[in-house]
Amino acid sequence: GEVGKGYKVSIETLNEGRIGIAAQMIGIAQGAYEAALAYTNEREQFGSSLDKFQAVQFQLAEMAVEIEAARLLTYNAARLKDAGISFLKEAAIAKLYTSRVAEKVSSKAIELFGGYGYVKDYPVEKFWRDSKIGSIYEGTSNMQLQTIAKLITSGK
């Protein structure tokens, strides 16, 4: 870039990177969800697999809904970027939301695994640890909120 324009270049890089981080967070959430789905199908309690219990089914359904919403927000931000349309707000929203979803879904997966969810013998503890970075790098969650607030209050 040009001399004296480094800040602008770095911010533009962050803006584009937020879509990539959002996609990464979806992958983490999806992995945790799929692990929970498989585990609840295999694990039996009281003569039935865990996924036959309504409370577990509802938790799995909530996870699926959150992941799909996160995926669509990310697709929309990427679509706008590819079309050359301003995507800053949408990228910030996608990164913020997907980071929250990855953490929430992976935490719920740990709960569905019970005590096994916390140990390294099963993958969900790593999904949860990996989800934490989403709220930190390429701009913290508070920075995403600041970006979103600035854009919506300025009429953009």
pTM of the entire structure? 0.91
Tell me the pLDDT tens digit for each residue of 71-111. 999 999 999 999 999 999 999 999 999 999 999 999 999 99
Closest CA to 61 of 51, 71, 70: 51
Fold classification of 6-153 (topology level)? Butyryl-CoA Dehydrogenase, subunit A; domain 3 (1.20.140)
Among the listed residues 66, 90, 103, 138, the single catalytic one is 138
At a CB cut-off of 8 Å and minimum separation 6, what does 76 contact?
A: 90, 94
Examine the residue annotation and report whether 12 is marked as an active-site residue of this protein.
no
Tell me the pLDDT tens digit for each residue of 13-39. 778 899 999 999 999 999 999 999 999
Residue predicted with more confidence, 109 or 9:
109
Instruction: Say if residue 156's pLDDT is above 80.
Output: no
Average pLDDT over residues 122-128: 95
pLDDT band for position 7 (50/70/90)? low
Structure letter (DSSP) for residue 48? E
Map out the domains of the chain as residue ranges. 6-153
Enumerate long-range contacts of 87-90, CB under 8 Å, 24 or more apart.
87/15, 87/19, 88/15, 88/147, 88/151, 88/156, 89/147, 89/148, 89/151, 89/152, 89/156
